[in-house]
């Protein structure tokens, strides 16, 4: 498949803060094309700063970041990088530029100076992908939070990026909006083959990824498939995180019932494990 | 919150589809004419023209009324001033104030002018999306680019301003409720005290506006915005035959109404 994003000893210090206190500390990370990576970490672990390195919003103080083999410090290829890696932020209100939905989604293709037919085709494709085509003539500020965030995602999809980085896209949404947004993101990954890197602090969202990275004080603390990462509940707790509820529950019950499986992840698996346990204890 | 300014009612009527540049030019002409008409017949014909456009655009009448309603007080006040402070033949006298026939006409003219002005401008923003409007302005002002006026940037600023009016007015309402919940009082005291009471609203509002601006700027950069680069448009503006017909028709009709009616008696 090849690598979408690669960092080599990536170090970043915010301008003005002392050089001995980097936000990102020599990170080596490779994200494969087509994968769905969730990045977790408590506040100040450097996860948002890391995300901003992926499309040259921030540039490394030391080390390298390659996007599709392009060095992000190469100013002449800035638009190539931004077009390949799209970025969605937490607050949908502050990402939507135009009043009308379709005009906002057209913003990026217009910036790329694409011909009108191509722009129109991309707007339709993007809005259909996030299931917002019927709302194309609506005013953005009258939509619900989940709908606005899907419009913001469509605005990025219209660039036809190969990778999309989402920085806590569901943090400001209600449960319905959260579900809609996550479903749209998963569809992008599974049906459109777009690489997804999602920063989140909702564990149940991270469960849907095929790789989970846990950040701590500017370094990668844990990295692996969700099942393996969430089985290490004690370690997660020390990093200020909690395993998804089903995993946390089984993890606690295992102190009394060590025969329970260690790698339970979803509700269905927890129900299955518990009914097996009940049948066994009842006997 | 009800924000009528810049509100757009999507639609596909002829009024909606007319080239926004044509609409903008005709709007300016229409407003100029409103202030030059001196006969009721002129207002009647202009009103008929306006009614025709309202009917075609299918804009709900309550929306137009909402725009007018806010100005009722100003309208009433100016017409009263006109009624009593215009010299001429006496109509009636209350206490020491004398209303005149000339004053009555001046008052009616003011009411007609202002309300037609409001309805006319509302029609423009109701039937033209903000982006189309700013695009039209950008194109009409394009010759100024030669004088190094940053027309493109100005148009983008207008787009963003129109986009954020509802966001910021919602935020103002939220901050006001939050301050009221903490015991702030905006309604009593002298004008001076009331102005001071607004400071705890304005400070958080500005802080938040700057934060939003910062985030929006990053988001725009992420979507490859560069004010120095040429941009294409989703909705290209191309004058169609209907646009030329409407433009020439109106360019003939509107001055004709003015010249024809200003010579009449009524």
Domain range summary for chain A, segments of one domain joined by +: 3-232, 244-283
Closest to B120 (Cα-Cα) out of B34, B246, B249 = B34
Which chain B residues are closer than 8 Å to A112 by Cβ? 224, 232
Name the one residue in this structure whose structure tokens are 């601006």.
Answer: B213
Q: Which of A75, A111, A125, A161 to mutate to test the interface with B (most CBs of B within 10 A)?
A: A111
Mean pLDDT, chain A, rounded, equals 90
A249-260 confidence digits (pLDDT tens) = 888 888 888 888
Q: Would an 8 Å CB–CB cutoff place B195 in contact with chain A?
A: no
pLDDT band at A106 (very low <50, low <70, confident <90, very high): very high
Kindly state whether B160 is in contact with chain A, defined as any CB-CB distance less than 8 angstroms.
Answer: yes
Return d(Cα A159, Cα A109) in angstroms, integer.
6
Residue A66 contacts residue B233 (beta carbons within 8 Å):
no
Q: Does B219 touch chain A (CB under 8 A)?
A: yes
Q: How far apart are CA B108 and CA B83, in angstroms?
A: 9
Across the interface, whether the CB atoms of A113 and B131 are under 8 A apart is answered no
pLDDT at residue A243 is higher than 90: no
As a CATH number, domain A3-232 is 3.40.50.300
pLDDT at position B2 is 45
Pairing verdict, β A211-216 and A195-199: unpaired
Classify strands A36-40 and A70-71 as parallel, antiparallel or unpaired: unpaired
Question: CA–CA separation, B175 vs B190, rounded Å?
Answer: 22
Answer yes or no: is pLDDT of A78 > 80. Answer: yes
Q: Does A43 touch chain B (CB under 8 A)?
A: no
> What is the C-alpha separation between B29 and B55, in angstroms, rounded?
20
Contact between B216 and A138 using a beta-carbon 8 Å cutoff: no
Tell me what percent of the residues of chain A surpass a pLDDT of 70: 99
The DSSP string of chain A is: --EEEEEEEEEE--TTS-TTS-SEEEEEEEEETT-EEEEE--TTSSHHHHHHHTTTSS--SEEEEEETTEETT-GGGHHHHHHHEEEE-S-GGGT--SSBHHHHHTHHHHHTT--HHHHHHHHHHHHHHTT-GGGTTSBGGGS-HHHHHHHHHHHHHTT--SEEEEESTTTTS-HHHHHHHHHHHHHHHHHS--EEEEE-S-HHHHTTSSEEEEEETTEEEEEE-HHHHHH-HHHHHHTT----HHHHHHHHHTTT-TTS-S---SHHHHHHHHHHHHHHHH-
CB spacing of B224 vs A83 below 8 angstroms? yes
Query: Rounded to 5 degrees, what angle do the CA atoms B235, B239, B242 make?
Result: 115
How confident is the model over A5-14, as pLDDT tens digits? 999 999 999 8
For residue A114, list chain B residues with Cβ-Cβ distance below 8 A: 232
Phi, psi of B106 (to 5 degrees): -60, -40
Whether residue B10 and residue A102 make contact (CB cut-off 8 A), yes or no, is: no
Q: CB of A112 within 8 A of CB of A125?
A: no
Q: What is the chain B residue with the closest CA to A142?
A: B166
pLDDT of residue B131: 80
Query: Can you say whether the dihedral through the CA atoms of A129, A131, A134, A137 is positive or negative?
Result: negative
Inspect the interface and report whether the beta carbons of B231 and A113 lie closer than 8 Å.
Answer: yes
* Phi, psi dihedral angles at A196 (to 5 degrees): -120, 130
ipTM value: 0.86
The whole-number average pLDDT for the span A184-205 is: 91
What's the gap in Å between the CA of A89 and the closest CA on chain B?
Answer: 8
Chain A residue with Cα closest to B234 = A116
> 């936000």: which residue's tokens?
A23
> How far is A50 from A57, CA to CA, in rounded Å?
10
C-alpha–C-alpha distance, residues B247 and A1, integer Å: 58
- Report strand pairing: A70-71 vs A62-67: antiparallel
User: What value does the mean pLDDT take over residues A101-125?
Assistant: 93
- Cβ atoms of A209 and A39 closer than 8 Å: no
Q: Among B117, B146, B162, B233, which Cα is nearest to B4's? A: B162
> What pLDDT was estimated at residue B134?
86
What phi and psi, each to the nearest 5 degrees, are found at residue B239? -70, 125
Q: Average pLDDT of A51-68?
A: 92
CA distance B17 to chain A (A): 14
Mutate to test the interface with A, among B219, B220, B231 (most CBs of A within 10 A): B219
pLDDT in tens, A114-172: 999 999 999 999 999 999 999 998 988 889 999 999 999 999 999 999 999 999 999 88
Nearest CA in chain A to B129: A100
CA of A82, closest CA in chain B: separation in Å? 6
At B102 the pLDDT is 85
**CA of B151, closest CA in chain A: separation in Å?**
16
Q: For chain B, list residues with pLDDT below 70.
A: 1-6, 265-266
Q: What is the DSSP letter of B98?
A: E
* B157 close contact with A: CB closer than 8 A: no
Residue A110 has its nearest CB partner, among B163, B216, B234, at B234
Cross-strand partners of A112: none
pLDDT single digits (tens) A15-58: 888 777 889 999 999 999 999 999 998 888 899 999 999 999 99
A120 interfaces chain B, CB cutoff of 8 Å: yes
Q: Which residues pair with A64 in a beta bridge?
A: A8
pLDDT of residue B266: 58
DSSP B97: E
Instruction: Kindly determine whether residue A109 and residue B221, on different chains, have CB atoms separated by under 8 Å.
Output: no
Instruction: Give residue limits of the domains in chain B.
Output: 14-142+236-262, 152-222
- pTM for this one? 0.80
pLDDT, residue B4, reads 46
A167 strand-pairing partners: A199
Interface contact A109-B232, CB threshold 8 A: yes
B183 and chain A: CB distance < 8 Å anywhere? no
């Amino acid at each position: 498949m090849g690598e979408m994003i690669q960092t080599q000893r990536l170090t970043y210090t915010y301008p003005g803060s002392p050089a001995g206190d980097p936000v990102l500390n020599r990170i080596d990370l490779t994200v494969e094309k087509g994968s769905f990576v969730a990045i977790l970490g408590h506040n100040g672990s450097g996860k948002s700063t890391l995300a901003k390195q992926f499309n040259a919003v921030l540039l490394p103080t030391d080390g390298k970041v390659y996007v599709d083999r392009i060095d992000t410090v190469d100013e002449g290829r800035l638009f190539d990088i931004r077009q390949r890696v799209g970025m969605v932020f937490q607050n949908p209100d502050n990402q939507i530029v135009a009043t009308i939905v379709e005009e906002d989604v057209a913003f990026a293709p217009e910036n790329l100076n694409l011909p009108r037919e191509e722009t129109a085709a991309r707007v339709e494709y993007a809005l259909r992908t996030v299931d917002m085509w019927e709302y194309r003539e609506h005013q953005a500020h009258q939509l619900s939070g989940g709908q606005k965030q899907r419009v913001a995602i469509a605005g990025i999809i219209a660039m036809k990026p190969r990778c999309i980085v989402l920085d806590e896209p569901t943090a400001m949404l209600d449960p319905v909006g959260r579900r809609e947004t996550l479903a749209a993101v998963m569809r992008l990954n599974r049906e459109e083959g777009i690489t997804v890197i999602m920063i989140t602090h909702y564990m149940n969202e991270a469960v849907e990824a095929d790789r989970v990275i846990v950040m701590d004080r500017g370094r990668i603390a844990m990295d692996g498939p969700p099942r393996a990462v969430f089985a290490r509940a004690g370690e997660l707790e020390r990093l200020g995180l909690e395993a998804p509820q089903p995993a946390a529950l089984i993890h606690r019950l295992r102190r009394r019932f060590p025969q329970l499986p260690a790698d339970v992840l979803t509700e269905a698996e927890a129900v299955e494990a518990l009914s097996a346990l009940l049948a066994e204890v009842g006997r | 919150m009800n924000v009528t300014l810049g509100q757009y009612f999507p639609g596909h009527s002829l009024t909606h589809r007319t080239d926004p540049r044509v609409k903008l030019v005709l709007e300016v002409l229409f407003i100029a004419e409103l202030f030059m008409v001196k006969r009721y017949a002129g207002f009647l014909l202009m009103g008929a023209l306006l009614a025709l456009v309202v009917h075609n655009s299918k804009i709900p009448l309550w929306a137009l009324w909402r725009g007018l309603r806010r100005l009722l007080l100003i309208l009433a006040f100016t017409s009263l001033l006109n009624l009593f402070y215009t010299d001429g033949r006496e109509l009636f006298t209350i206490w020491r104030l004398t209303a005149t026939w000339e004053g009555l006409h001046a008052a009616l003219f003011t009411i007609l002018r202002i309300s037609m002005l409001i309805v006319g401008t509302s029609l423009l923003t109701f039937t033209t999306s903000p982006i189309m409007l700013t695009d039209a302005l950008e194109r009409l002002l394009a010759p100024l680019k030669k004088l190094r006026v940053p027309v493109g940037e100005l148009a983008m600023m207008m787009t963003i301003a129109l986009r954020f009016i509802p966001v910021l007015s919602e935020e103002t309402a939220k901050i006001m409720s939050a301050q009221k919940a903490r015991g702030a009082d905006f309604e009593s005291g002298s004008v001076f005290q009331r102005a001071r009471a607004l400071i705890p609203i304005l400070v958080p509002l500005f802080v938040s506006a700057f934060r939003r601006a910062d985030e929006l700027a990053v988001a725009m950069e992420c979507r490859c915005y560069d004010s120095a680069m040429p941009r294409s448009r989703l909705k290209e503006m191309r004058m169609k035959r209907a646009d030329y017909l409407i433009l020439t028709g109106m360019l003939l009709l509107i001055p004709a109404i003015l010249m024809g009616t200003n010579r009449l008696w009524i």
